[in-house]
């Protein structure tokens, strides 16, 4: 009990609004492993506590070109490992390329198998899964899969999507539950178009060159908050667009700048995509998910709409161990939530119970007991 309290207080400090965002603990060991999956090899980073292992988690990533080497992921995983959790953070190729394909699910299952077989894992602990953003797809499908549903100790879904069509439609139109939402992260727009590209008509003349340009825009604009300003991200978009011609140049701009032409192009592609999007559905086996689940979603999430938390709640109504946590404490990206000290203090006082509820669930679900 005393040990758990210490862990909770440590997590509360490191994840709280007052801890410097560029600091992280160092009482851990990190190593790199390779996971075989058919003809592919998946790199993963393993974070191992210096002391006793209190729990085990496989991280289901969000879209990011750096994967687990993104500084936020390194900090997050380091905090967990220093608190006693064995962490596996895989480099899932589709998520690094920011375009979902059926291979992502297969790769993620191979990583779970590897983590489960590690000699460092206490055999009495079932691995839990912590998903970030679009990683909810991999986490939910793993927990409901017939070969894995009894092996997953628990799920934590942070800022996850439950409905692909609804989430992308929100980003294209700004509509949430029929009402306009002004705040959407403009820098994520190219990722939407990357995932719709196969259904966009007419097809681009040089799709690879177009994809490369969008990725250049993402890699330039995502670090920091400079490009969140409209004049800055638009200037960058028009500068990079000079490398393209004709229809491809128009598509590139539509994928970076909010305009009516881009909305029309995106919605038409999304309607066409419905014909073949089963592999993008996180809820396909949701009725089989029996492990404890905690869904955490930022109240003002400007990437994945907050109503997705309710979609998970409805899909998991058969499960008596589901917690839904809507909070203002955590943002979807590091570009949000940079308030004043006064604002942070007021927010923490208001939501301190929610913070400890989230951390308590994290502690519990990472150490569910399995067969010895």
Residues in Cβ contact with 221 at an 8 Å cutoff, skipping those fewer than 6 apart: 187, 227, 233, 236
With CA atoms as reference, report the closest residue to 312 among 156, 120, 202, 89: 156
Pairwise pLDDT comparison (21 vs 211), residue with the higher score: 211
d(CA 194, CA 197): 5
6 has pLDDT over 80: no
Whether residue 34 contacts residue 42, with contact meaning beta carbons closer than 8 Å, is answered with: yes
Least confident of 63-77, 236-250, 320-334: 320-334
Residue 289 burial by Cβ neighbours in a 10 Å radius (0-12, 13-18, 19+):
buried
In the chain, what are the domains?
A: 2-162+282-365 (3.40.50.1820), 164-276 (no CATH)
pLDDT for 189 equals 94
pLDDT band at 336 (very low <50, low <70, confident <90, very high): very low
Distance of CA 2 to the CA centre of its chain: 32
Q: Which of 179-188, 247-256, 318-327 has the highest mean pLDDT?
A: 247-256
Work out the pLDDT band at 15, boundaries 50, 70, 90. Answer: confident
Name the band, by pLDDT with cuts 50, 70 and 90, for residue 276: confident
Top-confidence residue, 16 or 101: 101
Whether the pLDDT of residue 121 is over 70: the answer is yes
Residue 174, pLDDT > 90, answer no
**pLDDT 10s digits, 340-360:** 444 444 445 556 667 667 777
Residue 371: pLDDT above 80?
no
Q: How far apart are CA 170 and CA 156, in angstroms?
A: 23
pTM of the model: 0.89
Q: Rounded to a whole number, what is the distance in angstroms from the first to the last CA of the chain?
A: 23
87-100 tens-digit pLDDT: 999 999 999 999 99
H or E stretch covering 59? strand 55-60
What is the rounded CA–CA span in Å between residue 278 and residue 211?
24
- pLDDT tens digit sequence for 191-229: 999 999 999 999 999 999 999 999 999 999 998 789 999
Q: Is-contact 193 255, C-beta < 8 A? A: yes
Percentage of the chain lying above the pLDDT 70 cut: 88
Rounded Cα–Cα distance for residues 165 and 81 (Å)? 36
Dihedral-angle region of residue 19 (phi above 0 means left; psi in -120 to 50 means alpha; beta otherwise): beta
Mean confidence (pLDDT) of the chain: 88
Q: How much is the pLDDT for 8?
A: 72
Is residue 14 predicted with pLDDT exceeding 50?
yes
Residue 183's pLDDT is: 77
What distance in Å separates the CA atoms of residue 303 and residue 349, rounded to the nearest whole number? 26
pLDDT at 332 over 80: no
Q: What pLDDT sits at residue 331?
A: 63
Side-chain-side CA neighbours of 78 within 13 Å: the count stands at: 16
Per-residue model confidence (pLDDT) at position 103: 94
Helix axis angle, 207-221 relative to 246-254, nearest 10°? Answer: 30
Which segment of 17-21, 107-111, 333-337 scores lowest on mean pLDDT?
333-337
- What is the reported pLDDT for 138? 98
| Rama region for 81: left / alpha / beta (φ>0; ψ in -120 to 50; rest) | alpha
- Give pLDDT, residue 182: 58
Which spans in the chain are helix H? 2-15, 71-82, 93-97, 103-117, 136-144, 164-173, 189-196, 207-221, 230-241, 246-254, 260-273, 308-315, 341-365
């Amino acid at each position: 009990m005393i040990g758990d309290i210490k862990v909770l207080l440590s997590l509360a400090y490191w994840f709280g609004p007052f801890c410097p965002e560029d600091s992280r603990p160092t009482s851990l060991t990190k190593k790199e492993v390779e996971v075989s999956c058919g003809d592919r090899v998946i790199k993963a980073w393993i974070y191992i506590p210096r002391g006793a292992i209190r729990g085990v988690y496989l991280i289901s990533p969000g879209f990011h070109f750096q994967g687990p080497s993104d500084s936020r992921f390194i900090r997050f995983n380091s905090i967990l490992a220093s608190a006693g959790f064995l962490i596996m953070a895989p480099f899932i190729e589709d998520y690094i390329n920011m375009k979902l394909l059926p291979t992502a699910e297969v790769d993620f299952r191979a990583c779970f198998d590897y983590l489960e077989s590690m000699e460092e894992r206490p055999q009495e602990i079932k691995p839990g899964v912590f998903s970030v953003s679009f990683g909810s797809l991999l986490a939910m499908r793993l927990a409901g899969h017939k070969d894995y549903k009894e092996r997953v100790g628990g799920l934590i879904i942070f800022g996850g999507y439950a409905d692909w069509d609804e989430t992308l439609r929100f980003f294209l139109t700004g509509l949430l539950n029929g009402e306009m939402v002004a705040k959407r992260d403009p820098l994520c727009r190219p990722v939407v178009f990357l995932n719709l590209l196969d259904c966009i008509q007419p097809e681009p003349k040089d799709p690879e060159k177009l994809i490369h340009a969008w990725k250049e825009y993402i890699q330039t604009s995502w670090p920091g908050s400079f490009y969140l300003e409209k004049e800055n991200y638009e200037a960058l978009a028009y500068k990079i667009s000079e490398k393209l011609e004709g229809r491809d140049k128009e598509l590139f701009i539509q994928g970076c700048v909010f305009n009516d032409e881009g909305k029309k192009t995106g919605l038409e592609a999304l309607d066409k995509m419905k014909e073949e999007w089963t592999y993008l559905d996180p809820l396909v086996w949701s009725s089989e998910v029996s492990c404890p689940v905690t869904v955490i979603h930022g109240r003002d999430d400007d990437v994945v709409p907050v109503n997705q938390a309710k979609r998970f709640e409805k899909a998991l109504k058969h499960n008596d161990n589901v917690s839904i946590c809507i909070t203002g404490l955590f943002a979807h990206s590091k570009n949000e939530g940079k308030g004043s000290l006064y604002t942070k203090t007021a927010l923490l006082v208001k939501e301190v119970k929610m913070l400890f509820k989230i951390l308590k669930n994290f502690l519990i679900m990472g150490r569910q007991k399995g067969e010895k």
